[in-house]
Amino acid sequence: MHVLGIDIGGTKIAMGLVDEAGRVHEKKVFASKAHLGRESMLRRIVEQIRSIDHKVGVDVLGIGFPGTVMGKQAVILESVNVPGWQGVALKDLFQEQVGKEVFVENDANAAALGEWMVGAGQGTQDFVYLTISTGIGAGILSQGKLITGVQGYAGELGHTILQKDGPRCRCGNHGCWEALASGPAMARSARVSLEQDKSSLMRIKKNFGAKDVFIAYEAHDQLATEIVEKAAAWSGLGLYNLIRTLNPERIAIGGGVGLGSARFVEKIKETVLLYARSPLLMPEIVPAHLKDEAGIIGSACVARYGLGYFPQGVKLL
């Protein structure tokens, strides 16, 4: 069976055929050009799907989309990074365009399914994939079932509130996990601190971001260490709350920030253990495995999951 995974993002779209072992074939990556509108994006995505289908044949499509995806018809309720898709029934739209069966999930859920089937979550039934990047979100599997909620926004951990009256979040609330520990939150904290601290290795420049903070952190810069470890402490608190709520067997941490440093993940684990008080209450907390191809692989796994394919050893209760 030829499964095509399509990862739709705000800056780029990536797609490829993914085999049962998670290997990617016929990979294509191109700019989203979201500013040109939905019809332009759709036309270019469909062109690339047809190109791959003409060359090798495609049986089913899995799509990961950066927004809130509701119900079996995959209606887009919200999408900040790819505007103009609100209210669109994505499943029906693509099935009409390409004449193939289509399955859709939001991008965090897609990545979670990918890690669960062929990555860091293999062998588990209760698994959480946490992504820390521009935003913070999660995909949750409980007893082998993806938890999406009534309207599709289960796992939006970035907008759980960890600090009352904390920094304002882009959602309008204050003290959200995302406002305290995401990549932009770290970069913002560094910019403010560098106005007073001239001894740091960090220097404000065009496109200064979390990557620059992590470079300084790996060089043991004092200010960068304070910023990263404070963010790790907030993420540790958020994860502890999640663990007490869901009791997962394993948590995989991914995303551009989550995979920015092995030391960062270890600091998160230290904070979780501090609150848990006992290693007996700790799930495994590991780095995600799929990294750069998580989007394509995860999207393909959305289709496999939709068709009823499950990792070996998983028993649905």
What is d(CA 70, CA 105) in angstroms, rounded to the nearest whole number?
Answer: 9
What is d(CA 272, CA 266) in angstroms, rounded to the nearest whole number?
Answer: 10
How sure is the predictor about 316, in pLDDT bands with cuts at 50, 70 and 90? very low
Domains of the chain: 3-106+293-306 (3.30.420.40), 120-288 (3.30.420.40)
220-245 pLDDT, tens per residue? 999 999 999 999 999 999 999 999 99
Closest of 156, 167, 150 to residue 130, by C-alpha: 156
State whether residue 275 is helix, strand or coil. helix
The DSSP output letter for 256 is H
CB atoms within 10 A of CB 295: 25
- C-alpha distances in Å from residue 263, one per residue of 42, 123, 168, 217, 268: 41, 25, 27, 9, 9
Bigger pLDDT: 133 vs 315: 133
100-120 pLDDT, tens per residue? 999 999 999 999 999 999 999
Burial 36-47 (b: 16+ CB within 10 A, else e): eeeeebbebbee
Phi, psi of 300 (to 5 degrees): -65, -35
Length of the chain equals 317
State whether residue 2 is helix, strand or coil. coil
Q: What angle do CA 298, 15, 256 make, to 5 degrees?
A: 55
Question: What is the reported pLDDT for 228?
Answer: 96
Percent of the chain topping pLDDT 70: 98
80-96 pLDDT, tens per residue? 778 899 999 999 999 99
22-69 pLDDT, tens per residue? 999 999 999 999 889 999 999 999 999 999 999 999 999 999 999 899
Pairing of strands 136-142, 127-132: antiparallel
State whether residue 208 is helix, strand or coil. coil
167-206 pLDDT, tens per residue? 999 889 999 999 999 999 999 999 999 988 888 989 888 8
Question: What is the reported pLDDT for 64?
Answer: 96
Output the average pLDDT for the chain.
Answer: 93
Inter-axis angle of helices 222-246 and 262-276, to 10 degrees? 50
Sheet arrangement for strand 60-65: 24-31, 12-18, 3-8, 60-65, 101-106
Phi, psi of 240 (to 5 degrees): -60, -45
pTM: 0.92
The answer, yes or no, to whether residue 317 has pLDDT greater than 70, is no
Pairing of strands 68-70, 75-78: antiparallel
200-216 pLDDT, tens per residue? 989 888 889 999 999 99
